[in-house]
Amino acid sequence: MTCSRRQFLKDTATTTLAAALPVSTMVFLTPGELKAAVENKKTRWTFLVDTNKCVGCGMCVKACKLENEIPYDAPVTRTWVERYVITKDGEAHIDSPMGGRDGFIDDKIRDEVIDPKDITKAFFVPKLCNQCENAPCVQVCPVGATYQTEDGVVLIDRDWCIGCGYCIMACPYGVRFFHPVTKTADKCNFCYHRTSKGLEPACVQACAFDARKIGNLKDPDDPVAKTIATKRVAVLKDEYGTKPHVFYLGLDENVR
């Protein structure tokens, strides 16, 4: 009896070890290796949003949906614009009807009328995929259907995605959704088909107020890289450790 119990313990230990094996396949780089690897790359696409300039016209959302073939009337979108109206009582009234696709032409927020006299500040915040350096969505994909390209953009393989939705759950920014036609996960990719041809993303081109800009963080002469280096910029939800690469000018503490 004692013998078989020892045998049991031994087997238990072996199995536990065997089960832990897959973990060892993860590649851990030392900080030095990682730095060298990143520095060798020529391009790191980065976005700059100036919330001071945005007027909430929503042309970026419209252009994005048409450019990227996201069904126009579906309630999902790769980029969206949020409206923040802060009143004297300190409350933040936030909305983004249809992702701001049709702009903000009504002063009501979810049918609530806000007296202009009560407003202390109000602003618009465009949102899009942050193309995180430590993308949690990529980490959790069980089949390698989403990944980071050499130039820092996270793409989704529509022919390999199984549609489990784990990446959607893992993104703290809520940028991912299921594409109604392809039935796979979808999100902004900085218009990869445009940037790789030397064009600006559709939303950047459509913005008449220079609120949206794209640049290459690796290029010291790039205007966006210069702004990020010299101005006071912020990112969204950095407490998640995702290292987002969409930088914001004029970000307010109320922004979620």
Partner 1 sequence: MKNHVLRPLWLAIGLVLLIMVARHFMVPEDFGVHGDSFTYNYYRLSNVDEWKDFPVKYQGRERCSKCHEENFESISHSRHKKIQCENCHGPAAGHPREVKQLVIDRSREQCLRCHALLDYPNSRRGMMKGVVSEKHKRKFECSKCHNPHNPNLEDR
Partner 2 sequence: MSPDLVVHGVEWTVKELFVYPNEFIYWSIQIVMYPYMTGLVAGAFVLSSLYHVFDQKGLKDIAQFSLVFSLALLPVAALPLLLHLQQPTRAMEPLLTPHFTSAIAAFGIVFTTYALIVVSEIWFVYRKYFVEQVQELKGKSGIANTMTRLLYQVLTMGAYDVSDEAIAVDNKAAKILAGVGIPVACFLHGYAGFIFGSVKANALWMSPLMPVIFIMSAVVSGIALCMLTYIIIMEWQAFRNRRSADKSVQIHGAEKAVVFEAGRYLLGFLVAAITLEMLDLIFRGYTAMKSWDILRSVMYGKDFFNIFILQYTLGNLVPFILLLLPKLTIKRTVVALILILFGVFMMRWNVVIGGQAFSLSFSGYMHYHIPIIPHSMETFKEGLFGALTVIAIPFVLFSIINKFVPSLRSH
In whole angstroms, the minimum distance from the beta carbon of 238 to partner 2 comes to: 12
Nearer to partner 1, 83 or 127 (CB): 83
In whole angstroms, the minimum distance from the beta carbon of 76 to partner 1 comes to: 18
Task: List strand residue ranges (DSSP E) for 88-223, in order.
Answer: 92-95, 119-127, 146-148, 154-156, 177-178, 185-186, 212-216
Candidate list 67, 122, 172, 200; residue touching partner 2; CB under 8 A: 172
Among partner 1, partner 2, none, the one that 168 touches (CB under a kind-dependent 5 to 8 A) is: partner 2
Candidate list 42, 110, 117, 232; residue touching partner 2; CB under 8 A: 110
In whole angstroms, the minimum distance from the beta carbon of 220 to partner 2 comes to: 33
Rounded to a whole number of angstroms, the distance between the first and last alpha carbons of the chain is 62
Q: CB within 8 A of 234, min separation 6: which ones?
A: 247, 248, 251
Residue 155 β-bridge partners: 147
Candidate list 94, 114, 233, 234; residue touching partner 2; CB under 8 A: 94
Residue 177 β-bridge partners: 186
Among partner 2, partner 1, none, the one that 173 touches (CB under a kind-dependent 5 to 8 A) is: partner 2
Among partner 1, partner 2, none, the one that 29 touches (CB under a kind-dependent 5 to 8 A) is: partner 1
Coil, helix or strand for 101? coil
Of 49, 22, 17, nearest in space to 233 by CA: 49
Q: Is 7 in the site for partner 2 (CB under 8 A)?
A: yes
